[in-house]
Structure 1
Amino acid sequence: MEDSLRLAIIGAGPIGLELALGAVQRGIKVQVFERAQTVGGHVEGWQFVHLFSPWSMNMSEEAKLVLKELGPLPDEGAFPTGRELVDSYLAPLARVIQQSSNCEGLHFGTEVVTVGRGALLKSESIGGGDVQMPKGKPLCEKQRRETPFRLLVRQAHGSGEERYLEGFDFVADCSGFYASNLSNWAGKGGTPALGERALRSANRIFTTIPDVLGIHRERFAGKKCLVVGAGMSAATTVRNLVELSKTEKNTEVTFLTRSAGDPYSVIADDVLPQRKILSEISNRASKGEVPNVTYLGGAAIREIKQAADGRLRVAVERSSDGSVENSAFEVDEVVCCVGYRPDTSIYEELQVHQCYASNGPMKLAATLIGGSGDCLAQVSAGVDALKNPEPGFFILGGKSYGRKSSFLLKIGHDQVRSVLDSLVPGPAT
């Protein structure tokens, strides 16, 4: 139909593709933009990691209906790796979407640089209302909600050629956050440690989970390594290094967290056994009960610098009983698993109300305050929490949680349903 709604989706990951599938089924014209050359660009970065949630929590009912026509579905009780998530779920989902007459294109190797709204400035048409123009100046657009979105895109690899694409009624940013350039800083108070910026620019330190037992094995085998962080990425890295030390002599780990005591809360009857195992191993390591692991709790990195022999000298500050203790040591590798922050530059010219603590959209962030420590206890906040002051612009998936790491794919599937129902009410056709 000529008057079909048009939707631009940023990111061809798990949530971007779920949204694209639901949209084309409802008659919405869709274009998907993915910076990587394949689906699930961020997932490729942790393809060797097993999810601690089973397939049953990572597949939507809508996707299963179309994928079962292509062949057997994955075992819902199995725990997939990132590689299996891409090959068995995301890639076939993308093929189904591309076959729809409502799909205007899945653009790989294409980065969305920024999103605007016609000729409107960020400061104009507050809340979508009439534009108040100075006397004698032409009125370019009347209201934000009536003005189509305009995307500046560029070739992510090669020439970097730029172009504008216009005429979108809605835009959904599903671009995620798992990337080296989006990692938080490892220094005190979340600021860069001295020397950290240069070492990150030189790719000398890891800011995503290294494939310790695979392609990065030689960098860690028989070496001393520092792991910073107290999330599941850090726990995964510590566990893998401990496993490596069983067959590679002299492999040693220093495990550093900003809080003292047990770094992880263990849920007694956790329905996700892999999560419980990771938490328990890390807590035992913090008590000195795991061979080849030294624990530094209540600590912060002051400086990281590279010595002449290529090793890294790390200066650490620890606080205890009001006193501060400084120390330094050398390691071969540093892995900073300290979380990620969303790239907000994409929508800096739109009217988006961001949380001052998490950088996520404010309405959704408000619903997450004081939530349960168990990410499984989450429920979808509904479409109203996903709306921004910018009419028709949505931030979905992991990026919608800002710096919070408790997002689950099942929540993203709920987000997709609620947004689609708000755009085209009624069941999918």
Structure 2
Amino acid sequence: MTTPRKQIRLAAHFPGVNNTTVWSDPASRSQIDFSSFVHLARTAERGGFDFFFLAEGLRLREHQGRIHDLDVVGRPDTLAVLAGLAAVTRHLGLAGTLSATYNEPYELARQLASLDHLSDGRAAWNVVTTSDAFTGENFRRGGYLDHADRYERAAAFVRAARGWWDSWSADALAGGRDRPTFVNEGGVRRFAQTDRFFAVEGESTVPRSPQGHPVVIQAGDSVQGRDFAAANADVIFSRHGGLEQGRDFYADVKGRLGGYGRSPEDLLIMPAATFVVAGTAAEAEERARHIRYQQVSGQTAIRSLEQVWGRDLSAYDPDGPLPDVEPDPGNTAISQGRAGRVKDPLAQVRAWRELAEAKKLSIRDLVVETTARQTFVGTPDGVAAQLDEHVQTKACDGFVLVPHLTPGGLDDFVDLVVPLLRERGVLRTEYTGATLRENLGLPAPR
């Protein structure tokens, strides 16, 4: 008997706050117009993707005290966009990135349950933690939260949100959502939680939603983040897109699930991935190189180095050699609102100098080499084979595809690669589940 091939899970990432979006391409369109969101979402649904993934920035990034205008600097509210997309899609999941630091459990649980009802069971929540005081200045609590406390608060937050979602039992209503009547007084129960972060009590105003709980996504990679995901998440948005790194991460996180009473099938691992396809492998490589140099202008290259050097490097030529001055590790304020700071700038600079000397790289060449490489490059058949290999050999369960163009960046993938994945029998030809949770093959909420 032939074992069925493992299905590939796919998500479409609407390009967020980053410098991967190519603004200069003639095909680039608005990052704010609703039509851009609609185009990408409908393209993903046409391709049988599981969900649409929307990033969020809670403050405009700054560099040397000025708005960092080389990045995307504006984005409508996440929940408003997803609610709008619920009306123009039928099956595609709708995932929003929403902070567990600068929201409150009751309010966010109610909003997500409402989105789940409006979309007939397609809501998902990417839980993120935000610990920096710069972002906190937009909120009354400021930057009070210590970095070490962020996952503890997030775990308490998710516990509380699930408490609100569970305050209506599955049999609380008769007559369905259109004409609800309470079956018994026990159908809606009072929820209470008291811990070092929250002291809340009450019941949800929103009946139990189609999924019970919206799908929970998480993106942490530290030991603490991996444990948080193993205990709480349905999907991990991973940064480990390489084959060997992916296998190590996959085995590590899946191995943690048993300690929380869960099985490997209860959690999906989906790394971020980019792609370039063309008629031949050589054409794809040339196109990928062209895209990388579009993504990294000379100005972007200099600012990227300044974030590591902690110095003003504007006097240096981006097409010349690396700066000969040493970094200033204490100047962490040069770039504000950016995640993933380099932990050891001195070591990073040494490694970059060695790489630049060995390969004869300019500043811009170095930034292209180290920050903007596409994950999958090749012919449509070659890319399909690479994606399939990663999933079948347990490097991941699927991918969150991040296109370099808004809103048409997924068009080539859906037109050229998706048919080949379907021929391989690893991607759905139609949606069979009634909810996002069912389409992802995830169990009902515990």
Q: Calculate the TM-score normalised by the size of structure 1.
A: 0.29
Bigger relative contact order, structure 1 or 2 (CA pairs below 8 A, ≥6 apart): 2
Which structure's residues are more often strand, by fraction? 1
Which structure's residues are more often helix, by fraction? 2
